[in-house]
Structure 1
Amino acid sequence: MDLVLTLITAPNSGALSEGMIETATAALRANGAETGEMRWLATGEACDLFFTGVTCEAAEKALENCDIAADKVVQITEGRAKKLLIADMDSTMVTGETLDELADFAGVKDRVAAITARAMNGELDFEAALDERVGLLAGMSVAMLDEAWKRVEYTGGARTLVATMRTNGAFAALVSGGFDFFTSAVRRELGFDFDQANVLLTDDGKTLTGKVQKPVLDRQAKVDALETLAAQNGITVADAIAVGDGANDLQMISLAGTGVAFHAKPSVQAQARIRINHGDLTALLYLQGYARDQFVEA
Structure 2
Amino acid sequence: MSATNFSGDPTLLIARLIADPQTLDQRLAAATAALDKAGLPLAHAAMLDFCGDVLQLELPGDDMAVLRKVIDEHFAPSDAIIARDVIRVPDVFVSDMDSTMIGQECIDELADFANLKAQVAEITERAMQGELDFEAALRERVGLLEGLEEGAIERCLTERIRPNPGARVLVETLKSKGCRTVLVTGGFHHFADVVAEQIGFERVAGNRLEVAGGKLTGQLVGAITDSSTKEAVLREEVGKLSEGAVSMAAGDGANDIPMLQASTFGIAYRAKPKAREASDGWIERGDLTALLKLLEIRETDWVTG
Normalised TM-score (structure 1): 0.89
1:243 to 247, 250, 267: 250
- The answer to which of 183-192 and 281-290 deviates more is 281-290
**1:33 equivalenced with 2:42 (yes/no):** yes
**1:192 equivalenced with 2:201 (yes/no):** yes
**1:7 equivalenced with 2:17 (yes/no):** yes
Provide, for residues 21-44 of structure 1, a one-character-per-residue CA deviation record: whole Å limited to 9, x for no partner. Answer: 45445555663231154315543x
Provide, for residues 95-132 of structure 1, a one-character-per-residue CA deviation record: whole Å limited to 9, x for no partner. Answer: 01011111010111111000000011111111111111
Provide, for residues 149-194 of structure 1, a one-character-per-residue CA deviation record: whole Å limited to 9, x for no partner. Answer: 0111111110111011000000000000000011110111111110
Give the distance between the partners of 2:104 and 2:126, measured in 1 at CA: 15
How many residues are paired up? 291
Give the distance between the partners of 2:142 and 2:84, measured in 1 at CA: 43
1:177-188 equivalences under 5 Å are 177-188=186-197
Alpha-carbon distance, 1:286 to partner:
2.5
Task: Look up the equivalent residue of 1:183 and give its one-letter code.
Answer: A
Give the distance between the partners of 1:69 and 1:192, measured in 2 at CA: 29
Report the 3-state secondary structure (helix = DSSP H, G, I; strand = E; otherwise coil) of the residue aligned with 2:15.
strand
Give the distance between the partners of 2:76 and 2:145, measured in 1 at CA: 45
Alpha-carbon distance, 1:48 to partner:
3.4
8 Å contact from structure 1 (residues 243, 262) kept in 2: yes
Give the distance between the partners of 2:80 and 2:30, measured in 1 at CA: 12
Alpha-carbon distance, 1:54 to partner:
2.8
Provide, for residues 124-144 of structure 1, a one-character-per-residue CA deviation record: whole Å limited to 9, x for no partner. Answer: 111111111011111111111
Give the distance between the partners of 1:182 and 1:233, measured in 2 at CA: 29
Other-structure match for 2:151:
143
Give the distance between the partners of 1:49 and 1:80, measured in 2 at CA: 13
Alpha-carbon distance, 1:17 to partner:
4.0
Report the 3-state secondary structure (helix = DSSP H, G, I; strand = E; otherwise coil) of the residue aligned with 2:124.
helix
Alpha-carbon distance, 1:272 to partner:
2.8
1:103–1:93 distance in 2 versus 1, CA, 3 Å: same
Other-structure match for 1:93:
101
Query: 5+ residue gaps in structure 1?
Result: none
Report the 3-state secondary structure (helix = DSSP H, G, I; strand = E; otherwise coil) of the residue aligned with 2:288.
coil
Alpha-carbon distance, 1:66 to partner:
1.8
Report the 3-state secondary structure (helix = DSSP H, G, I; strand = E; otherwise coil) of the residue aligned with 1:66.
helix
8 Å contact from structure 2 (residues 91, 180) kept in 1: yes
Task: Look up the equivalent residue of 1:4 and give its one-letter code.
Answer: I
Task: Look up the equivalent residue of 1:129 and give its one-letter code.
Answer: A
Give the distance between the partners of 1:275 and 1:260, measured in 2 at CA: 5
Alpha-carbon distance, 1:53 to partner:
2.1
1:199–1:295 distance in 2 versus 1, CA, 3 Å: same
1:1-298 equivalences under 5 Å are 1=6, 2-9=12-19, 17-25=24-32, 27-28=34-35, 31-35=40-44, 37-43=46-52, 46-57=53-64, 58-66=66-74, 68-78=76-86, 80-150=88-158, 151-204=160-213, 206-234=214-242, 239-298=246-305
- The answer to which of 127-136 and 223-232 deviates more is 223-232
Give the distance between the partners of 2:167 and 2:300, measured in 1 at CA: 17
Alpha-carbon distance, 1:79 to partner:
5.0
1:267–1:61 distance in 2 versus 1, CA, 3 Å: closer
Alpha-carbon distance, 1:63 to partner:
3.5
Other-structure match for 2:9:
none
Task: Look up the equivalent residue of 2:44 and give its one-letter code.
Answer: T
Query: 5+ residue gaps in structure 2?
Result: 1-5, 7-11
Provide, for residues 240-279 of structure 1, a one-character-per-residue CA deviation record: whole Å limited to 9, x for no partner. Answer: 1000001110000000000011111122223333232112
Give the distance between the partners of 2:55 and 2:84, measured in 1 at CA: 12
Give the distance between the partners of 1:20 and 1:291, measured in 2 at CA: 25
